[in-house]
Structure 1
Amino acid sequence: MLPSSSSTHASPGHLHIQKWRGRIGLSLVAALSVLAGMTDAIGFMASGDFVSFMSGNTTRLAVAISDGDMGLTLRLTILVATFVIGNALGIVVSRLGGRRALPLLLCIATLLCGAAAWPYEEQLPALLAAIIAMGMLNAAVEDVNGLPVGLTYVTGALSRFGRGLGRWMLGERRNGWRVQLIPWAGMFAGAVLGALLEHHLGLRALFVSGLLAGGIGLLSLKIPRRWQLGYMPR
Protein backbone atom coordinates (compact mmCIF):
# COMPACT_ATOMS: atom_id res chain seq x y z
CA MET A 1 0.00 0.00 0.00
CA LEU A 2 1.26 3.46 -0.84
CA PRO A 3 1.73 5.82 2.08
CA SER A 4 -0.42 8.78 2.98
CA SER A 5 -0.21 11.25 5.79
CA SER A 6 -3.68 10.29 7.03
CA SER A 7 -3.34 6.51 6.63
CA THR A 8 -2.72 5.85 10.33
CA HIS A 9 -6.15 7.27 11.25
CA ALA A 10 -8.11 6.08 8.22
CA SER A 11 -10.98 3.59 8.36
CA PRO A 12 -10.55 0.12 6.81
CA GLY A 13 -12.84 1.14 3.94
CA HIS A 14 -10.76 4.24 3.23
CA LEU A 15 -7.55 2.22 3.34
CA HIS A 16 -9.01 -0.26 0.84
CA ILE A 17 -9.92 2.57 -1.56
CA GLN A 18 -6.52 4.17 -1.09
CA LYS A 19 -4.84 0.85 -1.87
CA TRP A 20 -6.73 0.46 -5.13
CA ARG A 21 -6.18 4.10 -6.05
CA GLY A 22 -2.46 3.48 -5.65
CA ARG A 23 -2.52 0.28 -7.70
CA ILE A 24 -4.48 1.85 -10.53
CA GLY A 25 -2.26 4.93 -10.46
CA LEU A 26 0.91 2.88 -10.67
CA SER A 27 -0.56 0.80 -13.49
CA LEU A 28 -1.23 4.05 -15.36
CA VAL A 29 2.33 5.20 -14.65
CA ALA A 30 3.70 1.91 -15.98
CA ALA A 31 1.68 2.17 -19.21
CA LEU A 32 2.63 5.79 -19.80
CA SER A 33 6.29 5.02 -19.10
CA VAL A 34 6.18 2.27 -21.73
CA LEU A 35 4.77 4.86 -24.14
CA ALA A 36 7.57 7.31 -23.28
CA GLY A 37 10.32 4.71 -23.63
CA MET A 38 8.94 3.41 -26.90
CA THR A 39 8.66 6.90 -28.40
CA ASP A 40 12.12 7.95 -27.21
CA ALA A 41 13.77 4.85 -28.69
CA ILE A 42 11.97 5.29 -32.02
CA GLY A 43 12.92 8.95 -32.25
CA PHE A 44 16.52 8.35 -31.22
CA MET A 45 17.12 5.51 -33.64
CA ALA A 46 15.43 7.33 -36.52
CA SER A 47 17.09 10.71 -36.03
CA GLY A 48 19.94 10.39 -33.51
CA ASP A 49 18.15 12.82 -31.15
CA PHE A 50 16.35 12.06 -27.91
CA VAL A 51 12.60 12.71 -27.86
CA SER A 52 11.98 12.62 -24.10
CA PHE A 53 15.44 12.30 -22.50
CA MET A 54 16.33 15.98 -22.28
CA SER A 55 19.23 15.32 -19.91
CA GLY A 56 20.94 13.55 -22.80
CA ASN A 57 20.13 16.36 -25.22
CA THR A 58 21.40 18.92 -22.69
CA THR A 59 24.75 17.13 -22.40
CA ARG A 60 24.97 16.89 -26.18
CA LEU A 61 24.16 20.61 -26.39
CA ALA A 62 27.02 21.45 -24.03
CA VAL A 63 29.43 19.33 -26.07
CA ALA A 64 28.22 20.93 -29.32
CA ILE A 65 28.86 24.38 -27.86
CA SER A 66 32.35 23.39 -26.72
CA ASP A 67 33.08 22.01 -30.21
CA GLY A 68 31.83 25.17 -31.86
CA ASP A 69 29.27 23.21 -33.88
CA MET A 70 26.69 25.96 -34.36
CA GLY A 71 24.35 23.85 -36.48
CA LEU A 72 24.02 21.13 -33.86
CA THR A 73 23.89 23.73 -31.09
CA LEU A 74 20.90 25.41 -32.73
CA ARG A 75 19.16 22.08 -33.39
CA LEU A 76 19.55 20.86 -29.80
CA THR A 77 18.50 24.23 -28.38
CA ILE A 78 15.31 23.98 -30.42
CA LEU A 79 14.68 20.42 -29.20
CA VAL A 80 15.10 21.31 -25.52
CA ALA A 81 12.96 24.45 -25.85
CA THR A 82 10.28 22.43 -27.65
CA PHE A 83 10.14 19.96 -24.76
CA VAL A 84 9.60 22.82 -22.32
CA ILE A 85 6.83 24.18 -24.53
CA GLY A 86 5.27 20.70 -24.62
CA ASN A 87 5.17 20.57 -20.83
CA ALA A 88 3.48 23.97 -20.74
CA LEU A 89 0.94 22.89 -23.36
CA GLY A 90 0.27 19.73 -21.36
CA ILE A 91 -0.86 21.81 -18.39
CA VAL A 92 -3.00 24.04 -20.63
CA VAL A 93 -4.68 21.09 -22.36
CA SER A 94 -5.15 19.33 -19.03
CA ARG A 95 -6.91 22.34 -17.54
CA LEU A 96 -9.04 22.96 -20.64
CA GLY A 97 -10.00 19.29 -20.62
CA GLY A 98 -11.17 19.45 -17.01
CA ARG A 99 -8.05 17.65 -15.77
CA ARG A 100 -9.07 14.42 -17.43
CA ALA A 101 -6.51 12.13 -19.01
CA LEU A 102 -8.49 11.35 -22.18
CA PRO A 103 -8.36 14.78 -23.90
CA LEU A 104 -4.66 15.10 -23.10
CA LEU A 105 -3.81 11.62 -24.39
CA LEU A 106 -5.88 12.11 -27.54
CA CYS A 107 -3.87 15.26 -28.30
CA ILE A 108 -0.67 13.28 -27.72
CA ALA A 109 -1.92 10.47 -29.96
CA THR A 110 -2.73 12.98 -32.72
CA LEU A 111 0.76 14.52 -32.53
CA LEU A 112 2.47 11.12 -32.63
CA CYS A 113 0.39 9.87 -35.55
CA GLY A 114 1.02 13.15 -37.35
CA ALA A 115 4.76 12.70 -36.81
CA ALA A 116 4.57 9.15 -38.15
CA ALA A 117 2.68 10.32 -41.25
CA TRP A 118 5.13 13.16 -42.04
CA PRO A 119 5.76 12.61 -45.77
CA TYR A 120 8.95 14.58 -46.31
CA GLU A 121 12.58 13.54 -45.98
CA GLU A 122 13.38 16.31 -43.48
CA GLN A 123 12.48 14.72 -40.15
CA LEU A 124 12.82 17.74 -37.85
CA PRO A 125 9.12 18.78 -37.91
CA ALA A 126 8.07 15.19 -37.13
CA LEU A 127 10.64 15.05 -34.35
CA LEU A 128 9.38 18.32 -32.86
CA ALA A 129 5.80 17.00 -32.87
CA ALA A 130 6.94 13.89 -30.99
CA ILE A 131 8.88 16.01 -28.48
CA ILE A 132 5.85 18.22 -27.83
CA ALA A 133 3.83 15.05 -27.25
CA MET A 134 6.35 13.75 -24.72
CA GLY A 135 6.43 17.09 -22.93
CA MET A 136 2.63 17.04 -22.72
CA LEU A 137 2.72 13.48 -21.37
CA ASN A 138 4.16 14.71 -18.08
CA ALA A 139 0.83 16.38 -17.30
CA ALA A 140 -0.93 12.99 -17.28
CA VAL A 141 0.37 11.88 -13.86
CA GLU A 142 2.41 13.87 -11.34
CA ASP A 143 2.05 11.80 -8.17
CA VAL A 144 0.25 8.73 -6.86
CA ASN A 145 -0.97 8.85 -3.26
CA GLY A 146 1.62 11.50 -2.47
CA LEU A 147 4.55 9.77 -4.18
CA PRO A 148 6.15 11.84 -6.97
CA VAL A 149 6.59 10.05 -10.30
CA GLY A 150 8.23 10.94 -13.60
CA LEU A 151 7.03 9.58 -16.92
CA THR A 152 9.49 10.71 -19.58
CA TYR A 153 12.65 10.57 -17.48
CA VAL A 154 13.83 8.03 -14.91
CA THR A 155 16.90 9.59 -13.29
CA GLY A 156 14.74 10.96 -10.48
CA ALA A 157 13.04 7.59 -10.00
CA LEU A 158 16.36 5.76 -9.77
CA SER A 159 17.67 8.40 -7.38
CA ARG A 160 14.62 8.08 -5.11
CA PHE A 161 14.91 4.30 -5.25
CA GLY A 162 18.62 4.47 -4.35
CA ARG A 163 17.99 6.79 -1.41
CA GLY A 164 15.24 4.51 -0.20
CA LEU A 165 17.55 1.53 -0.50
CA GLY A 166 20.14 3.36 1.60
CA ARG A 167 17.58 4.07 4.33
CA TRP A 168 16.47 0.43 4.24
CA MET A 169 20.09 -0.68 4.68
CA LEU A 170 20.25 1.55 7.78
CA GLY A 171 17.19 -0.14 9.23
CA GLU A 172 14.56 2.44 8.31
CA ARG A 173 11.35 0.85 7.07
CA ARG A 174 9.67 3.53 5.01
CA ASN A 175 7.08 2.61 2.40
CA GLY A 176 6.94 3.62 -1.22
CA TRP A 177 10.55 3.70 -2.38
CA ARG A 178 10.39 0.35 -4.15
CA VAL A 179 7.63 1.50 -6.50
CA GLN A 180 10.05 4.00 -8.03
CA LEU A 181 11.32 1.11 -10.15
CA ILE A 182 7.96 0.94 -11.93
CA PRO A 183 8.52 3.95 -14.24
CA TRP A 184 12.10 2.82 -14.88
CA ALA A 185 10.99 -0.71 -15.80
CA GLY A 186 8.18 0.68 -17.96
CA MET A 187 10.50 3.00 -19.84
CA PHE A 188 13.08 0.24 -20.32
CA ALA A 189 10.52 -2.23 -21.65
CA GLY A 190 9.02 0.45 -23.90
CA ALA A 191 12.45 1.35 -25.28
CA VAL A 192 13.17 -2.27 -26.16
CA LEU A 193 9.82 -2.53 -27.94
CA GLY A 194 10.35 0.81 -29.68
CA ALA A 195 13.78 -0.23 -30.93
CA LEU A 196 12.35 -3.42 -32.41
CA LEU A 197 9.55 -1.50 -34.09
CA GLU A 198 11.91 1.12 -35.52
CA HIS A 199 14.04 -1.61 -37.11
CA HIS A 200 11.02 -2.66 -39.15
CA LEU A 201 9.08 0.58 -39.63
CA GLY A 202 11.49 3.47 -39.16
CA LEU A 203 9.89 6.69 -37.96
CA ARG A 204 6.49 5.32 -38.95
CA ALA A 205 6.71 3.18 -35.81
CA LEU A 206 5.38 6.32 -34.08
CA PHE A 207 1.97 5.19 -35.33
CA VAL A 208 2.19 2.44 -32.70
CA SER A 209 3.03 5.04 -30.05
CA GLY A 210 0.03 7.09 -31.15
CA LEU A 211 -2.30 4.10 -31.00
CA LEU A 212 -0.97 3.21 -27.56
CA ALA A 213 -1.57 6.77 -26.32
CA GLY A 214 -5.13 6.68 -27.61
CA GLY A 215 -5.73 3.25 -26.08
CA ILE A 216 -4.46 4.36 -22.67
CA GLY A 217 -6.69 7.42 -22.95
CA LEU A 218 -9.75 5.25 -23.57
CA LEU A 219 -8.85 2.98 -20.66
CA SER A 220 -8.52 6.04 -18.43
CA LEU A 221 -12.29 6.47 -18.72
CA LYS A 222 -12.55 3.57 -16.28
CA ILE A 223 -10.59 5.48 -13.62
CA PRO A 224 -12.82 7.36 -11.14
CA ARG A 225 -12.84 11.09 -11.73
CA ARG A 226 -11.62 11.98 -8.23
CA TRP A 227 -8.65 9.63 -8.63
CA GLN A 228 -7.66 11.28 -11.90
CA LEU A 229 -7.77 14.66 -10.18
CA GLY A 230 -5.37 13.30 -7.59
CA TYR A 231 -2.93 11.94 -10.16
CA MET A 232 -2.71 14.96 -12.45
CA PRO A 233 -0.87 18.23 -11.75
CA ARG A 234 -2.88 20.90 -9.97
Structure 2
Amino acid sequence: MLPSSFKPQASAALLQRHKWRGRVGLMLVASLSVLAGMTDAIGFMASGDFVSFMSGNTTRLAVAISDGDLGLSARLTLLVATFVLGNALGVIISRASKRHALPLLLCIAMLLCGAAAWPWDDLLPALLAAIVAMGMLNAAVEEVNGLPVGLTYVTGALSRFGRGLGRWMLGERRNGWRVQLIPWAGMFVGAVIGALLEQHMGIRALLVSGLLSALLGLVSLKIPRRWHLGYMPR
Protein backbone atom coordinates (compact mmCIF):
# COMPACT_ATOMS: atom_id res chain seq x y z
CA MET A 1 0.00 0.00 0.00
CA LEU A 2 1.20 3.51 -0.83
CA PRO A 3 1.47 6.04 2.00
CA SER A 4 -1.61 8.24 2.24
CA SER A 5 0.54 11.33 1.68
CA PHE A 6 1.84 9.93 -1.62
CA LYS A 7 -1.44 10.23 -3.53
CA PRO A 8 -1.88 14.01 -3.05
CA GLN A 9 1.78 14.54 -3.93
CA ALA A 10 1.44 12.41 -7.07
CA SER A 11 -1.72 14.25 -8.06
CA ALA A 12 0.01 17.61 -7.59
CA ALA A 13 2.95 16.46 -9.72
CA LEU A 14 0.62 15.27 -12.49
CA LEU A 15 -1.27 18.56 -12.40
CA GLN A 16 1.99 20.50 -12.64
CA ARG A 17 3.13 18.43 -15.64
CA HIS A 18 -0.27 18.98 -17.25
CA LYS A 19 0.08 22.74 -16.83
CA TRP A 20 3.60 22.77 -18.25
CA ARG A 21 2.52 20.65 -21.21
CA GLY A 22 -0.20 23.19 -21.88
CA ARG A 23 2.14 26.17 -21.57
CA VAL A 24 4.77 24.65 -23.85
CA GLY A 25 2.10 23.67 -26.35
CA LEU A 26 0.67 27.18 -26.44
CA MET A 27 4.15 28.67 -26.90
CA LEU A 28 4.62 26.31 -29.83
CA VAL A 29 1.23 27.31 -31.23
CA ALA A 30 2.14 31.00 -30.92
CA SER A 31 5.46 30.46 -32.69
CA LEU A 32 3.96 28.43 -35.52
CA SER A 33 1.17 30.99 -35.92
CA VAL A 34 3.81 33.71 -36.32
CA LEU A 35 5.32 31.57 -39.09
CA ALA A 36 1.92 31.19 -40.75
CA GLY A 37 1.08 34.90 -40.54
CA MET A 38 4.50 35.89 -41.84
CA THR A 39 4.26 33.53 -44.82
CA ASP A 40 0.69 34.54 -45.65
CA ALA A 41 1.55 38.25 -45.66
CA ILE A 42 4.62 37.71 -47.83
CA GLY A 43 2.70 35.59 -50.33
CA PHE A 44 -0.24 37.99 -50.45
CA MET A 45 1.87 41.10 -50.96
CA ALA A 46 4.06 39.42 -53.57
CA SER A 47 1.30 37.78 -55.62
CA GLY A 48 -2.08 39.14 -54.52
CA ASP A 49 -3.17 35.64 -53.44
CA PHE A 50 -3.50 34.25 -49.93
CA VAL A 51 -1.12 31.48 -48.93
CA SER A 52 -2.90 30.18 -45.83
CA PHE A 53 -6.18 32.14 -45.64
CA MET A 54 -8.31 29.83 -47.77
CA SER A 55 -11.55 31.47 -46.61
CA GLY A 56 -10.42 34.58 -48.47
CA ASN A 57 -9.46 32.59 -51.55
CA THR A 58 -12.81 30.77 -51.45
CA THR A 59 -14.73 34.06 -51.39
CA ARG A 60 -12.57 35.38 -54.22
CA LEU A 61 -13.25 32.18 -56.16
CA ALA A 62 -17.00 32.62 -55.77
CA VAL A 63 -16.78 36.22 -57.00
CA ALA A 64 -14.60 35.19 -59.95
CA ILE A 65 -17.11 32.51 -60.93
CA SER A 66 -20.00 35.00 -60.72
CA ASP A 67 -18.00 37.41 -62.91
CA GLY A 68 -17.30 34.69 -65.46
CA ASP A 69 -13.54 35.09 -65.03
CA LEU A 70 -12.44 31.59 -66.00
CA GLY A 71 -8.71 32.27 -65.67
CA LEU A 72 -8.93 33.59 -62.12
CA SER A 73 -11.44 30.88 -61.18
CA ALA A 74 -9.04 28.16 -62.35
CA ARG A 75 -6.12 29.78 -60.50
CA LEU A 76 -8.02 30.07 -57.21
CA THR A 77 -9.39 26.53 -57.51
CA LEU A 78 -5.80 25.34 -57.90
CA LEU A 79 -4.72 27.28 -54.79
CA VAL A 80 -7.50 25.85 -52.61
CA ALA A 81 -6.90 22.29 -53.88
CA THR A 82 -3.16 22.68 -53.23
CA PHE A 83 -3.84 23.72 -49.63
CA VAL A 84 -5.99 20.61 -49.11
CA LEU A 85 -3.20 18.49 -50.58
CA GLY A 86 -0.71 20.12 -48.22
CA ASN A 87 -2.84 19.18 -45.21
CA ALA A 88 -2.99 15.58 -46.42
CA LEU A 89 0.77 15.48 -46.96
CA GLY A 90 1.31 16.90 -43.48
CA VAL A 91 -0.56 14.00 -41.90
CA ILE A 92 1.27 11.48 -44.09
CA ILE A 93 4.69 12.90 -43.18
CA SER A 94 3.70 13.07 -39.52
CA ARG A 95 2.70 9.41 -39.51
CA ALA A 96 5.75 8.35 -41.54
CA SER A 97 8.05 10.10 -39.04
CA LYS A 98 6.19 8.52 -36.11
CA ARG A 99 4.73 11.90 -35.17
CA HIS A 100 7.98 13.78 -34.71
CA ALA A 101 7.69 17.48 -35.51
CA LEU A 102 11.25 17.94 -36.78
CA PRO A 103 10.90 16.10 -40.14
CA LEU A 104 7.64 17.89 -40.87
CA LEU A 105 9.04 21.35 -40.08
CA LEU A 106 12.19 20.65 -42.09
CA CYS A 107 10.07 19.68 -45.11
CA ILE A 108 8.16 22.94 -44.67
CA ALA A 109 11.47 24.83 -44.44
CA MET A 110 12.70 23.26 -47.69
CA LEU A 111 9.50 24.22 -49.52
CA LEU A 112 9.63 27.81 -48.28
CA CYS A 113 13.33 28.21 -49.08
CA GLY A 114 12.71 26.72 -52.52
CA ALA A 115 9.88 29.21 -53.07
CA ALA A 116 12.17 32.07 -52.00
CA ALA A 117 14.81 30.95 -54.50
CA TRP A 118 12.36 30.73 -57.44
CA PRO A 119 14.24 32.58 -60.23
CA TRP A 120 11.49 33.39 -62.77
CA ASP A 121 8.92 36.17 -62.92
CA ASP A 122 5.95 33.77 -62.83
CA LEU A 123 5.43 33.34 -59.10
CA LEU A 124 2.74 30.65 -59.32
CA PRO A 125 5.09 27.67 -58.66
CA ALA A 126 6.64 29.50 -55.70
CA LEU A 127 3.16 30.35 -54.43
CA LEU A 128 2.05 26.72 -54.72
CA ALA A 129 5.12 25.54 -52.78
CA ALA A 130 4.33 27.99 -49.99
CA ILE A 131 0.68 26.90 -49.93
CA VAL A 132 1.66 23.23 -49.65
CA ALA A 133 3.94 24.21 -46.76
CA MET A 134 1.15 26.06 -44.96
CA GLY A 135 -1.21 23.13 -45.42
CA MET A 136 1.42 20.81 -43.95
CA LEU A 137 1.94 23.16 -41.01
CA ASN A 138 -1.48 22.31 -39.62
CA ALA A 139 -0.23 18.81 -38.82
CA ALA A 140 2.40 20.20 -36.44
CA VAL A 141 -0.09 20.92 -33.65
CA GLU A 142 -3.76 19.96 -33.67
CA GLU A 143 -4.69 20.36 -30.01
CA VAL A 144 -3.19 21.34 -26.67
CA ASN A 145 -4.52 19.62 -23.54
CA GLY A 146 -7.71 18.75 -25.40
CA LEU A 147 -8.28 22.28 -26.77
CA PRO A 148 -8.47 22.46 -30.59
CA VAL A 149 -6.15 25.00 -32.21
CA GLY A 150 -5.65 26.25 -35.75
CA LEU A 151 -2.29 27.46 -36.99
CA THR A 152 -2.94 28.89 -40.45
CA TYR A 153 -6.41 30.32 -39.95
CA VAL A 154 -7.92 32.33 -37.11
CA THR A 155 -11.66 32.52 -37.84
CA GLY A 156 -12.30 29.43 -35.74
CA ALA A 157 -10.14 30.75 -32.91
CA LEU A 158 -11.97 34.08 -32.85
CA SER A 159 -15.31 32.26 -32.98
CA ARG A 160 -14.38 30.01 -30.04
CA PHE A 161 -13.11 33.05 -28.12
CA GLY A 162 -16.33 34.97 -28.80
CA ARG A 163 -18.54 32.08 -27.73
CA GLY A 164 -16.46 31.66 -24.59
CA LEU A 165 -16.80 35.37 -23.88
CA GLY A 166 -20.58 35.09 -24.23
CA ARG A 167 -20.70 32.18 -21.76
CA TRP A 168 -18.48 34.14 -19.34
CA MET A 169 -20.85 37.12 -19.57
CA LEU A 170 -23.68 34.74 -18.68
CA GLY A 171 -21.83 33.67 -15.56
CA GLU A 172 -20.34 30.39 -16.82
CA ARG A 173 -16.73 29.87 -15.82
CA ARG A 174 -15.37 27.38 -18.33
CA ASN A 175 -11.63 27.21 -18.91
CA GLY A 176 -9.72 27.42 -22.17
CA TRP A 177 -11.57 30.00 -24.22
CA ARG A 178 -9.11 32.81 -23.52
CA VAL A 179 -6.18 30.89 -25.01
CA GLN A 180 -7.88 31.02 -28.41
CA LEU A 181 -6.47 34.54 -28.77
CA ILE A 182 -2.93 33.11 -28.82
CA PRO A 183 -3.00 31.82 -32.44
CA TRP A 184 -4.75 35.02 -33.53
CA ALA A 185 -2.13 37.22 -31.88
CA GLY A 186 0.68 35.06 -33.27
CA MET A 187 -0.67 35.26 -36.80
CA PHE A 188 -1.23 39.02 -36.51
CA VAL A 189 2.31 39.67 -35.27
CA GLY A 190 3.72 37.35 -37.93
CA ALA A 191 1.76 39.13 -40.67
CA VAL A 192 3.16 42.50 -39.60
CA ILE A 193 6.70 41.09 -39.68
CA GLY A 194 6.06 39.40 -43.03
CA ALA A 195 4.71 42.60 -44.57
CA LEU A 196 7.79 44.53 -43.48
CA LEU A 197 10.10 41.83 -44.81
CA GLU A 198 8.30 41.66 -48.17
CA GLN A 199 8.65 45.41 -48.63
CA HIS A 200 12.43 45.02 -48.50
CA MET A 201 12.98 41.53 -49.95
CA GLY A 202 9.96 40.67 -52.09
CA ILE A 203 9.19 36.96 -52.47
CA ARG A 204 12.69 36.18 -51.20
CA ALA A 205 11.40 37.07 -47.74
CA LEU A 206 10.07 33.49 -47.69
CA LEU A 207 13.66 32.52 -46.90
CA VAL A 208 13.13 34.00 -43.42
CA SER A 209 9.98 31.90 -43.06
CA GLY A 210 11.94 28.82 -44.08
CA LEU A 211 14.70 29.50 -41.59
CA LEU A 212 12.14 30.09 -38.83
CA SER A 213 10.49 26.75 -39.62
CA ALA A 214 13.84 24.95 -39.41
CA LEU A 215 14.65 26.71 -36.13
CA LEU A 216 11.29 25.74 -34.62
CA GLY A 217 11.93 22.16 -35.75
CA LEU A 218 15.21 22.12 -33.84
CA VAL A 219 13.58 23.69 -30.78
CA SER A 220 10.89 21.01 -30.90
CA LEU A 221 13.56 18.42 -30.06
CA LYS A 222 13.56 19.85 -26.53
CA ILE A 223 9.85 19.07 -26.08
CA PRO A 224 9.20 15.71 -24.38
CA ARG A 225 8.17 13.03 -26.84
CA ARG A 226 4.94 12.14 -25.01
CA TRP A 227 3.84 15.77 -25.17
CA HIS A 228 4.34 15.81 -28.94
CA LEU A 229 2.12 12.76 -29.23
CA GLY A 230 -0.63 14.79 -27.59
CA TYR A 231 -0.15 17.83 -29.82
CA MET A 232 0.05 16.21 -33.26
CA PRO A 233 -2.81 14.54 -35.18
CA ARG A 234 -3.40 10.85 -34.50
Report what 1:186 is aligned to. Answer: 186
- Listed as ranges, the gaps of 5+ residues in structure 2 are 1-9
Mapped partners of 1:233, 1:193: distance in 2? 29
Mapped partners of 2:122, 2:227: distance in 1? 42
Mapped partners of 1:29, 1:141: distance in 2? 7
Q: Under a length normalisation based on structure 2, what TM-score does the superposition of the two structures give? A: 0.96
Report what 2:203 is aligned to. Answer: 203
List per-residue Cα deviations over 1:39-88 (Å, max 9, x = no partner).
00000000000000000000000000000000000000000000000000
Alignment of 1:126-205 (within 5 A): 126-205=126-205
Report what 1:62 is aligned to. Answer: 62
Instruction: State whether structure 2 residue 38 is matched by structure 1 residue 38.
Output: yes
Report what 1:13 is aligned to. Answer: 13
Mapped partners of 2:191, 2:97: distance in 1? 29
Alignment of 1:61-140 (within 5 A): 61-140=61-140
List per-residue Cα deviations over 1:85-105 (Å, max 9, x = no partner).
000000000011110100000
Report what 1:27 is aligned to. Answer: 27
Instruction: Extract structure 1 runs of 4+ deviating beyond 2 A.
Output: none
* Identity within the alignment, %: 82
Mapped partners of 2:149, 2:16: distance in 1? 22
Aligned length: 225
Report what 1:220 is aligned to. Answer: 220
- Listed as ranges, the gaps of 5+ residues in structure 1 are 1-9
Mapped partners of 1:60, 1:209: distance in 2? 25
Task: State the SS of the aligned residue for 2:78.
Answer: helix
List per-residue Cα deviations over 1:86-126 (Å, max 9, x = no partner).
00000000011110100000000000000000001110000
Mapped partners of 1:54, 1:104: distance in 2? 21
Q: Under a length normalisation based on structure 1, what TM-score does the superposition of the two structures give? A: 0.96
Which amino acid is the alignment partner of residue 125 of structure 2? P
Which amino acid is the alignment partner of residue 161 of structure 2? F
Which amino acid is the alignment partner of residue 77 of structure 1? T
Mapped partners of 1:36, 1:165: distance in 2? 26
